[in-house]
Amino acid sequence: MALQLYKNEMSGSFYSWRGGAWIVAASMIFSLVAYLLLTDKELSLLDQGEMLFTLSEIVISLAIIMSVTLASSAISSEIELGTFESLLLTPLTGKQIAFQKLLSIITIWFLLYAVSIPYLLVISSGTNLSLSAIFYTGFYGTILVTAFSSLSIAISARVRSSKNSIMISLMILLILLAPSIFFATSLKKTSFGIALENINPVSHTMNSLDSVIVDNQQSPSEQDIHLASVIVFAVVCLLILLRLSHQFEVKPIQ
């Protein structure tokens, strides 16, 4: 059966609450953020577009963290559990194993995204931003989840230890997700800072969402550079996964 491993991954995710926990946690965070945006004395003073942008940012950030956490142990946990050999001995190819695992993470993202839609609708009520916010959040979320999951699965297969794989993946994510932690404003303006900002898919996503939701530039043609950068990043990550999945082999423990 073509998607048997995918089905197994989904059952495993929800049986062990790996996937379910993310959905529950995400809905709690969305509720809290929405509540604060609407009731907090200072936050409620924000422009409605900025409120919506904040929520979109949180949806995307949570999606990336979720995908990195789940994907970075996708292969290594099978190796550690001793189940990877039996998977490799089935007619499934390395590519099929990797991509069915990727698909299961994207499915969990879709569930998380579905949970976020009512919150996006509530925050954007009374504006013409609802559809754009839902579309761009879904689009960028899907591309970034695909990209980060692919990269993390590849790291997981390469490093073969869940602990190290999660650590490396989170480190990459941290660098991309929060450049402000590492770079002061003056450093951001240096050529290195500008170069990093230009290749950072997370920055492009956030800048694009800001442009669509806050500045009301909703046409895709106005977002072409951001869209292209994020898509190129995703393609590179998928190619890395494709290349590594051809080389799955089990090394004996000496």
Binding residues for another protein, rule: CB under 8 A, are 1, 4-5, 8, 11-12, 15-16, 78, 81-93, 249-252, 254
Residue number, 37 or 157, with CB nearest to another protein: 157
Task: Assign 3-class secondary structure to 117-175.
Answer: HHHHHHHCCCCCCHHHHHHHHHHHHHHHHHHHHHHHHHHHHHHCCHHHHHHHHHHHHHH
Q: How far is the CB of 89 from another protein (least distance, A)?
A: 6
The least distance separating another protein from the CB of residue 90, rounded to whole angstroms, comes to 4
Q: The tokens 């996964």 sit on which residue?
A: 241
Min dist. Cβ of residue 13 to another protein (A): 10
- Shortest Å distance, C-beta 23 to another protein: 18
CB of 6 to another protein, least distance (A): 11
Nearest to another protein of 183, 248 (CB atom)? 248
Query: Residue 213 contacts by C-beta under 8 Å, 6 or more apart in sequence?
Result: 49, 52, 53, 56, 129, 132, 133, 136
* CB 162, CB 77: distance < 8 Å: yes
Tokens linked to 10: 């989904």
* C-beta of 91 vs 126, nearer to another protein: 91
- Residue 1 or 45: the one with the smaller Cβ distance to another protein is 1
End-to-end CA distance of the chain: 35
Tell me whether residue 2 or residue 181 sits nearer to another protein (CB atom). 2
Check: CB of residue 173 under 8 Å from CB of residue 67. Answer: no
Contact by Cβ (8 Å): 137, 56? yes
Contact 14, 86 (CB under 8 A): no
Give the residue with the Cβ less far from another protein, 57 or 78: 78
The least CB distance from residue 20 to another protein, in Å, is 13
